[in-house]
Amino acid sequence: MTEVFVTSFYHFKEIIQVNSLRTKSLEYCTNINLLGTILISKEGFNGSISGEKASILKYFDWLQRELNLNFQIAERARWNKSNQAPFRRMRVKIKREIVGLGREDIKPFEKAGNSVKPSEWNNLILNPDVTIIDTRNQYEIEIGSFPNAINPKTKTFREFPDFVKNISIENKSKPVAMFCTGGIRCEKAAALMIEMGFEDVNKKRFCL
């Protein structure tokens, strides 16, 4: 029996020809029997797809060449095995944002703070001068979070900009450490905080 792999991946990058990339991606994924959903916008791509591992890697290689990426998508993706395909069809959608913050002017591909490796994360948050912010929603935070992390008390990610406006951090040069579930929200949140004047913004990386 062929193993089914499920992978989630994203990358912030300016994409000009979004319609062309959507059409080509849908055709390519369909031809190699991939299933799932990929979101494409002018700020990048964000997807969850399933299929044979070789087919997924083939699409990643194609996407890297198409967008002239200088890294391996497979190394940054999150991988899982499944007994059966969790998706019924292949969809590629064009969106205003690949993660909904409600701020299309924020460009994480230009500035998104420092990316902290998992092996370095604990040392960072143990620093008493670091402000830790959990960028997830209230429901996720109630399940568990890092000690001393600030809870923005948001229902959706679109409420995060209002939280940043009202956050009580007088010295914006002090380091800030941010995290989420898969990296995409804290990366965009980091870009927002830099835009709003914070100087030392760090986000947790969720891969090696």
Catalytic residue ranges: 180
DSSP 108-168: TTT---EEEPHHHHHHHHTSTTPEEEE-S-HHHHHH---TT-B----SSGGGHHHHHHH--
> Is the Cβ–Cβ distance between 4 and 53 less than 8 Å?
no
Answer for the pair 131, 169: CB distance below 8 angstroms, yes or no.
yes
Torsion, Cα of 129, 134, 135, 140 (10° steps): 180
The secondary structure of 139-150 as a DSSP string is HHHHH---TT-B
Residues 12 and 38 sit within 8 Å (Cβ to Cβ): no
